[in-house]
Structure 1
Amino acid sequence: MLAGLREGGIDAHPVDPQEVDVAQLKAMGFQKVFIALHGRGGEDGTLQGMLELLGLPYTGSGVMASALSMDKLRSKLLWQGAGLPVAPWVALTRAEFEKGLSEEQKARISALGLPLIVKPSREGSSVGMTKVVEENALQGALSLAFQHDDEILIEKWLCGPEFTVAIVGEEILPSIRIQPAGTFYDL
């Protein structure tokens, strides 16, 4: 990416936010930011909010869109509220899990059928995700997901092709089919 920016005539410099205090970017002479980060801190609205406070323009979605798109549960609720189809799902909190699932929760999960996908609500890509094909694997999948977030989703596994669609401003770009090398896409 860096080479491509430079080949395009952009005076680009790599900055790792784990090594450089992002709050100092403007003082260091940076005038804009090309975000090339993944997951928490990079695509969840946190960095975007800091850059807005600094008055530095950046690539990608704004604070609210980044925060909502990183939160799978809230995204799902928004889509559902807009009348879009969503996979059947059950949300669980860490407190519910640690207390022990109620019979109602167990029944709702069982009603989803197998296979299932268990995932943290707020993580990037496939971090903490597990495809569950046997009921006895569910507990381990829940434990793994809760290592990454206090809220998780258990969804019915959907078979079929996966697509991504970018939206730039008001323009919807052509869809791109994702063909994962493994069970699911893992950036």
Structure 2
Amino acid sequence: MNPKISDYGMTRIFGGDQTEANTNRVAGTYDYMAPEYAVDGLFSMKSDIFSFGVVLEIVSGKKNRGFSHPDHSHNLLGHAWKLWMEERSLELVDNMLDSFATSEVLRCINVGLLCVQQGLEDRPNMSSVVVMLGSESSLPQPKQPGFFTERNMPETASSSSKHGSTSVNEMSTSLLEPR
């Protein structure tokens, strides 16, 4: 194994000069699997960094899978993005944390959101993540995360259940389960 290739996780499967791959079998934890890998089996160094979005689970004390909120049907990534856009990111922090450095937590949220951006070209590489987490320099603003969609709610919980099911954008989502 080439020591220059062990960015974060799956990049270790690459050969020494390989920077991307196409796989026939998708494997891994779907919660933090890059959209281009989960959908098309395309994998690169930037796909792997998507998994580092797990830092949002660490900050919030909640899991992406099964996350629910009374005001919307987003997963944890969508919830973090919504709070970020509304400049309310500190509401993401686990209320069991009674003392923390606000600037450090906001930096972790910012970096987590940078890692889960929809476009793989927008995601940082792991060495940049290490620098961002270890410095106090300003960070780029994240773009919308991948898999930022509202999940379908059960009919009994849906306000539209009396009038039939409608969709504004005619999109549907599927929950992928690992084998």
TM-score, normalised to structure 1, is 0.27
Larger radius of gyration: 1
Name the one with the larger helix percent. Answer: 2
Name the one with the larger strand percent. Answer: 1
